[in-house]
Amino acid sequence: RAYPPIRKTRGDLRDQVLDRIAIEHKEDRRVMPAPRSKNIAWVEHRVSTAERTAANGHRGGILWMTGLPGSGKTTLACELERALFLRGYKVFLLDGDNVRHGLSSDLGFSPADRAENIRRVGEVAGLFAEAGVIAISAFISPYRADRDGIRERRRHDFHEIFVSAPLEVCESRDPKGHYRKARAGELPDFTGISSPYEPPLAPELMLETHRQTIEACVIALVQYADSRFRVPRPERVEGP
């Protein structure tokens, strides 16, 4: 197996070592790494999942929106968060750019850093789901193995939404000017141009934003959420 050569330059050494590790273990991303510390124990909650569901009127879960840059993930995720909130859902949006201001501020866009970013976000989204909240995750998440890893670890919570649009359409939108910079060689490791995107093979829902309006996409998303997460609240029994 060929590996990228490691050049002993101080600024790039960390990323190159991590990239080599990522290539070696790419097929193992579905497996959660074992904790480094042996002096930890799992703490059981005193509030059950059933109790959270009954209190909220809906199940928790992860709506994972993936697609090329410019496909419409953030636009739809913001609209969906608002729509679900107004319908009484406990919901929170995890956006790719926002996360890199804090949780993943130490990561770049190399394959290893992308994998670690998605692993972290998957764990955070999973905690939201355990708390009974619907986590909307809007991330390019270009590698299928990384998304499948979240599905494997959050088997009953994970719902993959493929926000689909042809590359030429996404590039014509170019809301942040990134495609232009990538074509000019000013933005390395840019998905769709100099870095690959692996589309989902069997997503729970696919939206074609070059054919559907924003409104139609949001309606489809809300209908999907209602069908997967909403549960009837128990009727209150009045006393004699």
Half-sphere exposure of 17 (CA within 13 A, CB side): 7
Going from the C-alpha of 169 to that of each of 150, 215, 235, the distances in angstroms are 29, 19, 49
The helix or strand, by DSSP H or E, that contains position 94, with its residue range, turns out to be: strand 91-95
Catalytic residue of the set 37, 141, 172, 195:
141
Query: Is 195 a residue of the active site?
Result: no
User: What is 31-89 written as a DSSP string?
Assistant: SPPPPS-SS--PPPPSS-HHHHHHHHTB--EEEEEE--TTSSHHHHHHHHHHHHHHTT-
CB 29 within 8 A of CB 148: yes
Query: Between vectors from CA 49 to CA 233 and to CA 80, what angle results, nearest 5°?
Result: 65
126 three-class SS: helix
Residues in the chain: 240
Known catalytic residues?
A: 141
